[in-house]
Structure 1
């Protein structure tokens, strides 16, 4: 395992050696462990109560996968398509995810711990009742036009992300680090931003959001 730091968040992540992994091409009914999953297509597969552990997944097509009540643990995922997938009641822990597409993906009752999402696309993704149980960071991710509801994301790092037209409803983000992220057109009641950390350069976006949310009329003096 290795550690990395994003802002004030320190994450414990896997450090896999491809030479120690066995090539995996087929998705069996059992758990997948210590596998090298390169360029496979498991599009539309149905997974229930399965675990994927200690695997490196690169260039794979996992679009429209449906995964319920399982675990993703100690994995590295890079350049993979997970668009249109549905994750329900799974745990994602000690994982590094880079350059991966989650367009239109749905996360329902998902638990995150020590997970780094770097340069990923979550546009039009839905997060419902997602919670963090440890360090979690999103860096350089596109989160636009998504919908997050009833999520518990205290202390999460959302650094240098595009939050344009992201809709937040009944979310808890206290202590979340949003420095460097674009807040323009973020759609949320102000109480969802209670206790977040911003940079001085983001105050104009926050002011604009407050004016729009409170329907304040700004007029020139006569």
Structure 2
């Protein structure tokens, strides 16, 4: 079984290259029975991708572009998304297991009510994305991703890890973050420092959190005041 491990977090990846597993090319992810299995969906350019109540099982989605993508109650298991451009992605009320997003542009994505179990985001653009009520039921890794001005709201990230990510103005709102591994990131410009109780960091990141807190409090340093 393929895995990706960073520090103490190990994500199980889709096993799509195993002998005997043949992926069939499809021209659409829509199926009359709501289930697409053993598929390869590549290089499609569509104006709108809209799925509801479907299942995506054992497949690859690569090089696809959609102006608007809406996935509601779409369960995905053992699927790899690579080099996709899905601005205005909305994915709600679903469970994702053994999923990889690799080098995808998901800027402004709205991910709401998702349960994540063994999910890897690798070198993805997630700037301005919103993660609302997202639960990491199993390990979740963000590696080398850009999350500028992204927001986590009411989420449970106890089983998550961020590594070498751009977290400038990333907001951590109310949620559960105990055990969240934030080592290997610059935390000096994150928002919501007070919510990050019992996370895991390195000692060298303490000054970064202090800078972030000072920015949130909008403090004035005495040394910067003009002498009267």
TM-score bracket, normalised by the shorter chain, equals: over 0.9
Distance 1:104 1:191 in 2: 25
Root-mean-square deviation over aligned CA pairs: 1.9
1:1-222 superposed matches below 5 A: 1-17=1-17, 20-29=22-31, 30-188=34-192, 190-220=193-223
Deviates further, 175-184 or 38-47:
38-47
Q: Give deviations 1:58-115, integer Å, cap 9, x for gaps.
A: 1111441111112011011110112211011011110121101110110110110000
Consecutive unaligned residues of structure 2, counting only runs of 5 or more, are none
Q: How many pairs were matched up?
A: 221
Distance 1:160 1:186 in 2: 14
How far does residue 200 in structure 1 lie from its aligned partner after superposition?
2.9
TM-score by length of 2: 0.90
Deviates further, 211-220 or 118-127:
211-220
TM-score by length of 1: 0.92
Deviates further, 204-213 or 122-131:
204-213
**Partners of 2:40 and 2:61 within 8 A in 1:** yes
Consecutive unaligned residues of structure 1, counting only runs of 5 or more, are none
Shift in CA distance, 170/75, structure 1 to aligned 2, threshold 3 Å: same
